[in-house]
């Protein structure tokens, strides 16, 4: 199930090519998009080519509960790495918001996510669904785990300055995507990826739910 690629640049271009094909074939596609380190190469591949994003609609997986104009907010990340470098309409780009049921309604009104790209946390989280999250969960406000706060503190300089809460799509929400691609990079992700994809399907390992989706691809490079 896990496809091992020989370098980060191959991983990035492989997944960017899947998104390009999707947008060329179905310009009205709805994409689920992640932030973090792993997709940075994918986004830089995507903006190298002039691609028509004018009909695309995006739903980000998660946001920190913080000032959206902070340079480390996920809104800033997406503007910098993708949106400001394409012709996507800002009002076609969606981030989880409160009331979270209204965000869910937006996904439903747009007829659901066609292609959802995911990263994975070292504790097996996808989006910000931490271990123990119900497989049926929907978009909601969550407290981040100690591990995730620690992992994310590299972006904020210290644990104290790192956001402690987020709004995340739920596992049930993500699983309704028609196609899902999970990407992971680095030795520190190999063990959890293996546990998630080949181990028991359990709420203790949120990403393990992907084993039950009928259209998932997983790409890894060390
Ligand atoms: C971020 C997200 C998270 C990250 C995960 C891995 O939008 O959904 O689940 O994908 O924390 O982050 P990186 O890629 O920085 O290792």
Q: Place 140 in a pLDDT band, splitting at 50, 70 and 90.
A: very high
Ligand 1 neighbour 119 (Cβ under 6 A) = yes
- The answer to whether 62 is a known catalytic residue is yes
Stretch among 54-68, 142-156, 161-175, 188-202 having the lowest mean pLDDT: 142-156
Span 124-143, mean pLDDT? 97
Ligand 1 neighbour 96 (Cβ under 6 A) = no
Q: Place 5 in a pLDDT band, splitting at 50, 70 and 90.
A: very high
Query: Please, how many CA atoms are within 13 Å of residue 222, restricted to the half-sphere of its CB?
Result: 3
Ligand 1 neighbour 121 (Cβ under 6 A) = yes
- The answer to whether 125 is a known catalytic residue is yes
Tell me which residue has its CA closest to atom 8 in ligand 1: 127
Checking if the pLDDT of 165 tops 90, the result is: yes
Tokens of 99: 């009331």
Q: What is the pLDDT of residue 70?
A: 95
Ligand 1 neighbour 127 (Cβ under 6 A) = yes
pTM: 0.97
Percent above pLDDT 90 for the chain? 96
CB 194 within 8 A of CB 188: no
User: From the CA of 200, how far away is ligand 1's center (Å)?
Assistant: 22
d(CA 148, CA 24): 36
Tens digit of each residue's pLDDT (9 = 90 or more) over 10-45: 999 999 999 999 999 999 999 999 999 999 999 999
- The answer to whether 215 is a known catalytic residue is no
Q: Place 64 in a pLDDT band, splitting at 50, 70 and 90.
A: very high
Q: Which of 45, 104, 125, 151 is catalytic?
A: 125
Ligand 1 neighbour 34 (Cβ under 6 A) = yes
> Closest Cα to residue 210, out of 183, 170, 171?
171
Q: What is the mean pLDDT of the chain?
A: 97
Q: What is the pLDDT of residue 151?
A: 85
Burial code of 205-222, b = ≥16 C-beta within 10 A, e = fewer?
bbbbbbeebeebbbbbbe
Q: What is the pLDDT of residue 12?
A: 98
């Amino acid at each position: 199930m896990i496809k091992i690629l020989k370098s980060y640049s191959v991983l990035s271009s492989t997944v960017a090519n899947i998104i390009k094909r999707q947008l060329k074939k179905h310009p009205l596609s709805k994409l689920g998009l992640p932030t973090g380190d792993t997709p940075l190469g994918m986004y830089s591949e995507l903006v190298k080519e002039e691609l028509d994003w004018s009909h695309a609609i995006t739903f980000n997986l998660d946001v920190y509960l913080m000032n959206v104009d902070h340079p480390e907010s996920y809104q800033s990340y997406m503007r910098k790495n993708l949106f400001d470098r394409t012709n996507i309409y800002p009002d076609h780009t969606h981030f989880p918001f409160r009331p979270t049921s209204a965000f869910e309604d937006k996904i439903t009104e747009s007829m659901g996510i066609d292609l959802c790209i995911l990263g994975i946390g070292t504790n097996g989280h996808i989006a910000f669904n931490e271990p123990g999250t119900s497989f049926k969960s929907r978009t909601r406000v969550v407290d981040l785990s100690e591990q995730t706060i620690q992992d994310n503190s590299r972006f904020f300089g210290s644990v104290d300055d790192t956001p402690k809460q987020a709004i995340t799509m739920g596992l049930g929400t993500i699983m309704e995507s028609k196609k899902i691609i999970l990407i992971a990079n680095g030795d520190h992700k190999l063990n959890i990826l293996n546990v998630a994809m080949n181990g028991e399907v359990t709420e203790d390992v949120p990403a393990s739910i992907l084993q039950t989706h009928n259209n998932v691809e997983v790409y890894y490079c060390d």
